[in-house]
Amino acid sequence: MMARLLPHPALSVVLLLLWLLLNNTLNPGHILLGGALGVIIPACMRNFVMPVPKVKQRIGLMRFTVRVLVDIVMANFHVAKLVLGPTRRLSPAFVEIPVSITDDFVLTVLTSVVSLTPGTVSADVSDDRRRILVHTLDAPDPDALVAEIKTRYEAPLLEIFECSTT
């Protein structure tokens, strides 16, 4: 019964929190309405929701989030420097990165993180999900970039989420 009413409990809680944040209130009426939305919306979207793998290490996830946020701030300064400096010295590149993440959700997280951090935008994912194509604003050494993304973002993601590596 519970499983049928709430197929995705975490999603329901997120929707409730979202509703309360949108209205900027803790009014009981809004809590009730948000709770109702948390039940109705997942029920309607049952077939579209992407399965999210279990989080194995909560502390690891928190540490990863903080690292990404810090990296985003640093990336902004770095990109600002590149943008305002002489653009003729930039060496942009398309870099292929082999990935060992097989889960679609985790792969989405990885590409999003890559897009949000230092001068890199993920441009494509190969059909077999084994490589991603990244465009970098300034990469004097593409191999170092591949190594950095693999150790800094991919390895922790593989540890945090319960997913098979191939």
Partner 1 sequence: MPIWIEVAVSLFLLFGSLFALVGAIGLFRLPDFFTRLHGPTKATTLGVGAIVLGSMIFFSSRGDGLSLHELLIMVFLFITAPVSAHMLAKAAMQQRLPRVDRTRGEPWE
Residues 7-36 that bind partner 1 (CB under 8 A): 18, 21-24
Tell me the closest approach of the beta carbon of residue 52 to partner 1, in angstroms.
14
Q: Does 94 bind partner 1 (CB under 8 A)?
A: yes
Q: Does 123 bind partner 1 (CB under 8 A)?
A: yes
Amino acid at 31: I
Tell me the closest approach of the beta carbon of residue 120 to partner 1, in angstroms.
8
Crossing angle, helix 58-84 and helix 104-116, to 10 degrees?
Answer: 40
- Whether 66 and 156 have beta carbons less than 8 Å apart is answered as no
Q: Does 154 bind partner 1 (CB under 8 A)?
A: no
Tell me the closest approach of the beta carbon of residue 94 to partner 1, in angstroms.
3
Tell me the per-residue interface mask from 48 to 87 with partner 1, x by CB under 8 A, - otherwise.
------------------------xx-xx--xx--xx--x
Q: Which of 111, 153, 160, 163 binds partner 1 (CB under 8 A)?
A: 111
Q: How far is CA 125 from CA 27, 88, 92, 95, 159, in A?
A: 44, 29, 19, 12, 21
Alpha-carbon gap, residue 120 to 94, rounded angstroms:
10
DSSP 14-74: HHHHHHHHHHT---HHHHHHHHHHHHHHHHHTTTTPPP-PPBS-HHHHHHHHHHHHHHHHH
Q: Does 96 bind partner 1 (CB under 8 A)?
A: yes
* Residues found near partner 1 in the complex (CB under 8 A): 18, 21-24, 72-73, 75-76, 79-80, 83-84, 87, 90-96, 111-112, 114-116, 119, 121-124, 126, 133, 135, 137, 139, 142
